[in-house]
Each structure stands twice: as C-alpha cells, then as structure tokens.
Structure 1
Amino acid sequence: MAIVDPAKTWEPLEQRLAVTTNERHRQVLSIVIEHMKAEAEPDLDGLMRTLVAEPDYHFWNAGQDVGPKGWAGVHDYYAAFVASKSNILEFALDRLLVDDDCVVTEGYLKQIYPGAYAAQIGIPVDDPDADYLITFRQLLLWPVDANGLIVGEDSYHSGPVEVRKLSFDELPSEYVELVHPAV
C-alpha cells in the first residue's frame, strides 16, 4: 500500500460530482477538483487558472493569518510550493460540504517533504537530507465566485500530528522521480 495516494484527494469530490444534479454545485466542485489535480502535477499555470484575478488566502497559524494575498503573492506561494517538491500529498477527507459558494473539506493531510524544506518551514526534523511523511488535521474552505473561480483558501490546521522519517523504499516512485531523479 502506498504511503500517500494523491488521487484520494479528489476522488471524494469526483464521487460527489457524479451524483450532483445542481449545476452550480457541479461548477463549484469541478473547479476545486481541477485545482487539486494541478497541485498534484504540479502545474503552476494550471493552479493559477483556477483562481480569481486577486485571490485572498487565509492560513490561520497561532491566531495569525499568514496566507498569501493578491495575484503576485499567491503566484509566489505556488511557485515556492512547486519548487519545494512537496506536492506528493493525500488529503484523506472525513467531511465534504458543498453549497453555491463554497466547498468545505476536512480530514488528514498527509504530505511527503524533503527534510531541508520541512526544516525551513519550521517542522521539527532531525535530518535535512531525509524525506518525511508529515500529517496534519486540516479544515479547508474553498470559496468560489459567481464566475466559478476560486477566491482563495481558508485553512485551519492542527500543526503536525505525525512527523515520520521515511526509508527510501517507502517513497512513491513519483516522489523519487521528482526529488531523487539520479537514484
């Protein structure tokens, strides 16, 4: 069994989409699915195409909003995300809510991080050359505008609930190709 399965991130949304008859709800679900798949690629241009002209992200950390703001801020955030090679992730959803203006997802976000990047963003790791599975409990609100584009993300998370060093044999092939291509 794979440590993470990126497809599990959007499969619950695709399952909901398959049984949803409300056209607005279908539009809202579809843009979030498109965004999730662009993150998994990673496809910076694809990510940015899912967003309004001036997106507004709210990442709540210790009572402070540290999310990127505006086109340039969000573009820089996603460019760093793509460069970090931490896009191999699975958001195992426990809850999915959809209305005319928002998708709400809640569950455990499991993400593989290069150790150096994990340390850079404040995750406690003991070996910057190792690879880590980092798990967070996360709630995400995905507001969507009248034109069907994502306005931003409102993210609430627990901080790491698990930080586990991975052996090379545990790493998914797509991660190895991305982070350790010479091996």
Structure 2
Amino acid sequence: MPINRTAMIDYMDARIAKTDDPKHLELLNMLRAHMLGEVNEDVDALLATISKSRQQYRSWGSPEDMQPASREAIRAFYLERQALGQLYFQFDIDRLTVADDIIVTDGVMTSLFPGTTVVGMGLRTPRPEAVHEVTIRTIISWPFDEAGLIVGEESYSVVTGARPLADEEIPADYPAGLVG
C-alpha cells in the first residue's frame, strides 16, 4: 500500500503555478509551507506558519484534546500526532477554494493506523493487531490572520473505509514502532 505523502504538496504546486492574485499566492504558499512541515514531520517549521495573535483548531465531532487553542497546545498536538504515526498520511485534494482570508480544501485523506487506534476510533476490525488503511473524507477550512499566517484548521470529516493490511502491504518507511 503506497502512501504518497507529498500528494497535497503536488496539488498546491499546481495551484500556485496557475494563480495570479498576489494575496492568494501569499496564502497558498503559507499553506504549502504548513503542509510541508507535516510531511517532513518538522513541528517547528509547521508552527512557523501559525498565527502568533490567535489560534484555533476545531475538529467537529472530536474530543476537546483534538482542538488545541494555543501555540503551546498546537505544538503538543503535533508532537503527539507524530508519536502516534498520524503524520504519515496522503491527502488527495479534490477541490480548493481561496479567498483573501481563508482557504478551503476538500478531499480524501488516507492514513495508516495501528489497530489500537482504529478500535479507539470506534471502528470494528477483525484484526486489531494489524496496521490499517483508513480513508477519511474531509473538508478543512484554513482561516488566516491579518499577517497572512494560519489561525488554525476547522475540519469536518467522515471515515469512509478501514481495512487491515497484510504485513507485505505495509510501506517500508512506515514507523516501525507502530507495526504489530
């Protein structure tokens, strides 16, 4: 099961190449830098894209600990996501809308999760010991502050599939500590 972790970067590059509006280019490049921080699992680079004046992550329907509202909480949030292997994903963007103070992305996120995470999500699985491919349809609103930095993410998501992987389907670069 190959995961193209740079799919969202590729999409952003194509969108940037055909955008002429200077304000929109500024926001698109900032979001690209944020996404690159996620792909590279570089929490400091990612935090450099986050507003210093206000922060708000909101994941509708998720528990409070999935909704950090300060730079310190955002740092802790991403460090935890990294430790859980949740920065190992592919985001295939189908649509992107950009305005002067917000970008909205709509697409399918494919992640690999340990079975314990899948069970913790309330999903049933015949093999809770296995790594699972989980697909999630998600819309993310990315509001920006006056300085052109990202305020946070507001996401609306629904799991569309989950399947246990055979050992030979697990990518070689998937974090070893999350297998088995």
TM-score, with normalisation over the residues of structure 2? 0.88
Equivalence for 1:85 = 85
- Gapped regions of structure 2 (runs ≥ 5): none
Change (3 A) 1:5 1:55: same
Where do residues 8-23 of structure 1 align in structure 2 (5 Å cutoff)?
8-23=7-22
Aligned residues of 2:57 and 2:154 also touching (Cα < 8 A): yes
- Judged with a 3 Å threshold, the aligned counterparts in structure 2 of structure 1 residues 121 and 41 are, in CA distance, closer, same or farther, namely farther
Identity of aligned residues (%): 29
**Gap runs ≥5 in structure 1:** none
- Number of residue-to-residue matches in the alignment: 178
Q: TM-score, normalised by structure 1?
A: 0.87
CA distance in 2: counterparts of 1:27 and 1:124, whole angstroms: 43
- Describe the shift of the 1:107–1:181 C-alpha distance in structure 2 as closer, same or farther (beyond 3 A): closer
Q: Secondary structure at the match of 1:132?
A: strand
CA RMSD of aligned residues (A): 2.4
1:147 counterpart = 2:153: no
- Code of the residue aligned with 2:14 in structure 1: it is Q
Aligned residue among 164, 170, 176 for 1:179: 176
- Structure 2 distance, partners of 1:24, 1:94, is 22
Q: Structure 1 runs of 4+ off > 4 angstroms?
A: none
Distance 2:137 2:178 in 1: 30
Q: CA offset at residue 137 of structure 1?
A: 0.8
Greater shift, 20-29 or 123-132, is seen at 123-132
**Partner Cα separation in structure 2 for residue 80 and residue 18 of structure 1:** 34
Q: Deviations over 1:9-62 (max 9, x none)?
A: 221111010111211111100111111111112111111111012410111017
Say if 2:139 and 2:157, in contact at 8 Å, map to a contact too: yes
Alpha-carbon distance in structure 2 between the residues aligned to 1:110 and 1:181: 16
Query: 1 CA distance for matches of 2:124 and 2:92?
Result: 23
Q: Is the 8 A contact 1:132 1:164 kept in 2?
A: yes
Secondary structure of 1:174 counterpart: coil
Letter of the structure 1 residue corresponding to residue 170 of structure 2 = L
Contact 2:9 2:32 in 1 (8 A): yes
